Structure 1
Amino acid sequence: MKLSFLLLLLPLLSHAVKIKDISSIIGVRDNQLIGYGLIVGLNKTGDGTTSKFTLQTISNMLQSMNVKLDPKDIKSKNVAAVVVTATLPPFSRQGDKIDVIVSSIGDAKSIEGGTLLMTPLKGVDGRIYALAQGSVTIGGRNGRGAGSLNHATAGRIPGGALVEQEVPFNLYGQKEATLSLKESNFQNAVTIQNILNRFYKEHVAVAVDSRTIRLKKPEKLSMVEFLAGIGEVSIDYSAKQRIVIDERTGTVVSGVDIEVEPVMITHGDITIKIEERESLPAIGKEGTAQNMGQNIQIRAQQHAVITKPGAATVANLARSLKKLGATPKDIISILEAMKNAGAIHADLKII
């Protein structure tokens, strides 16, 4: 695993963003749909006789077409049972088309080239909101094409479902709405409240908590016009500093100015010591390397890193450890230990 250390060059503490990019309107949301169906037309790559639910489903389907057949008599391997999922966007109307994903739940080897038979898609309330049907696309040979799912037992049907029932939501007739911030922050909530009240020159917003702002539209505007205008208003957005670590790829993303407090950590044969000092020791002999721009010394023979708090940032520390020869796993473990010890105050997110 190769380490990739990325630095966010833009300031993370405060920058201008539009309100629509950091919030959502409560009630305006996607809805998840799910269904169970059959894919036919497979070239002997479908479910075998061990998937008894597939055979029973085939029998039930044929019976609805006045063809009575015992499941035990079905030997076809050209059919696969699948779970069908889709996302119903807000304000979808009857006749709109939405994409669906089909995933095998039996022992099928591949569903490539198959056709999904008409499958009802239900919401969490058990009501049917869409009907799915169509040819399955894997997205490339053996399902490994660009942007595709990475195996042949799952695929997509672009525009494969027709919306049959709408989710009722009368936004136009509303006089009030609620704005929900994507990240909890009291300062951002108050900032949005104040700037909206100044922008509209009346009391249209009130911050209820660190994520919620209640809105009351002006009399001269419709709710749609009001929300459209709010979304385009820019604010001075305060974002939390964050370190993102991808354990699978070894990628670490950090702001350039995230500091590390004085701390001493030993990890295997690597010792990290960050302390208050008036001046740094002189550079040693062979086997000692120094990052002059960051005031970080690396003693390869002793496996030690000594630095000053003023220059001890996550970015500099990671670069120094990499130069020392630490593995990506070591660097990730050290950052996690520093966070747990309270030496790093930024949020640590592992994906």
Structure 2
Amino acid sequence: MNTTDRLIKLLIALAFAAASAALWWPVESRAERIKEVATVQGIRSNQLVGYGLVVGLDGTGDQTTQTPFTTQSLNAMLQQLGINVPSGTTMQPKNVAAVLVTATLPPFAQPGQAIDVNVSSLGNAKSLRGGTLIATPLKGADGQIYGLAQGNMIVGGAGASQGGSKVQVNHLSAGRIPAGATVERSVPTPWMQSTIAQLDIQADDFNTARDVANAINRAKGAGTAEALSGRTVAVKLPEQPGERVAFMADVENLPIQRAIPAAKVIINARTGSIVMNQAVTLGPCAVAHGALSVTINSTPVISQPNALSQGQTVVAEKADIKINSEPGSLIQMPAGTKLTDVVKALNSLGANPQDLLAILQAMKAAGALQAELEVI
């Protein structure tokens, strides 16, 4: 056997090995982490809100004649500072605006830490650009003060007006203050009060809950996690508080294979948007869809009386109603087990998104669409 024959046989053997590997080795799929499908119960953010004043505006503040609460707030603030405004004084400050301040208090936030705040106009201020927020207490749902906001605003817009003409870029009645609030009180969490942590699955899926529990048990030992329902998984925490942070960091980064979700079609009736996931399948069916239009034309008719008849001119309307029904041909749609097949079948109907809303509902009622319809 010469060298050429040996080389040919070697190449054939390598090609056969590569083909065998492609047939028997599983294709590598991207796994999601537990932190992307579940959250720890009790470890959540809290919404804060407050009412305050923005000062230092360049004549673009509230018109106090239409927003009396701005003047009342300004009087109350001046009284707190020891300044008494004589009764009967008409105040029309153009550089002050009443605003609503909102912020999100992250979990485990401690007193003294800074958080971002959003400031939105509450009255009819033309612009908050260049304004400064005066100290504003931020309260939670329980009415307690959890933060104090103050600082210079950042408004991502610009505008100018003169002689009835106006040019505006982006929105001028809302802004943001980075690190504009200081946390004054922390929110207690059940993190250190129990040896059991509960993971809340984002989607109601028993398969995902089981996969999360199995992944934790494989990494941390049997019996560490237990799936209680399609949305909750109980996890045993270490006895030592110092070990819990490292334990949960490992748990959150454990990979799991995301199961195929339930077949679902999301329909937005207001915009005509239709979104379906990869699990949607279509059974064989036949669809005929025609366009029905109703046109109503109204023409005024004037009835003029004869001369010297002492009659009155009467105006009436003549309505012309036309109903047009375009024929729709019967189209046979084959069964589709893949999302691409379903999309091709629906596109073959030639219907617009508004027509597809009615077609999909009819397919679901006829049993040809194997998916759950959800209207948002």
Do both proteins adopt the same fold according to a TM-score greater than 0.5, normalized to the shorter chain? yes
1:66 aligned onto 2:111: no
Within the candidate set 52, 55, 59, 2:68 is matched to: 52
1:346 aligned onto 2:371: yes
Within the candidate set 324, 336, 340, 1:310 is matched to: 336
1:37 aligned onto 2:52: yes
SS at match of 2:82: coil
Say if 1:99 and 1:158, in contact at 8 Å, map to a contact too. yes
- Give the direction of change, closer, same or farther, for the CA distance of 1:301–1:140 in structure 2 (3 Å limit): same
Between the aligned residues of both structures, percent identity stands at: 42
Within the candidate set 192, 199, 218, 2:212 is matched to: 192
What are the Cα deviations for residues 285-314 of structure 1, in whole angstroms up to 9, with x where unaligned?
xxxxxxxxxxxxxxx984553221136844
Q: Which residue of 2 aligns with 1:278?
A: none
Q: 1:1-351, aligned counterparts within 5 Å?
A: 16-48=31-63, 49-69=65-85, 70=87, 73-141=90-158, 151-169=171-189, 171-172=191-192, 174-218=194-238, 222-238=243-259, 239-244=261-266, 252-256=274-278, 258-263=280-285, 267-269=289-291, 302=328, 304-310=330-336, 313-321=341-349, 324=350, 326-339=351-364, 342-348=367-373
Range with bigger deviation, 219-228 or 34-43: 219-228
After TM superposition, the score normalised by the length of structure 2 is: 0.70
Range with bigger deviation, 221-230 or 249-258: 249-258
- Give the direction of change, closer, same or farther, for the CA distance of 1:150–1:242 in structure 2 (3 Å limit): farther
- Equivalenced residue count is 300
- Give the direction of change, closer, same or farther, for the CA distance of 1:195–1:311 in structure 2 (3 Å limit): closer
Q: Which AA in structure 2 matches 1:227?
A: M
After TM superposition, the score normalised by the length of structure 1 is: 0.75
Cα deviation for residue 337 of structure 1 reads 4.8
Q: Which AA in structure 1 matches 2:334?
A: K
Note the residue ranges of structure 1 that are not aligned, 5 or more in a row.
1-13, 143-148, 271-299
What are the Cα deviations for residues 100-120 of structure 1, in whole angstroms up to 9, with x where unaligned?
111222122222222211111
Say if 1:256 and 1:315, in contact at 8 Å, map to a contact too. no
SS at match of 1:202: coil
- Taking the aligned partners of 2:363 and 2:30, their CA distance within structure 1 comes to 27
Cα deviation for residue 173 of structure 1 reads 6.2
Q: Which residue of 1 aligns with 2:25?
A: none
Cα deviation for residue 206 of structure 1 reads 1.4
Say if 1:81 and 1:104, in contact at 8 Å, map to a contact too. yes
- Taking the aligned partners of 1:341 and 1:92, their CA distance within structure 2 comes to 54
- Taking the aligned partners of 1:336 and 1:120, their CA distance within structure 2 comes to 51
- Taking the aligned partners of 2:49 and 2:267, their CA distance within structure 1 comes to 32
Say if 2:46 and 2:106, in contact at 8 Å, map to a contact too. yes
SS at match of 1:112: coil
What are the Cα deviations for residues 63-95 of structure 1, in whole angstroms up to 9, with x where unaligned?
111112248611112211111111111111222
Say if 2:287 and 2:332, in contact at 8 Å, map to a contact too. no
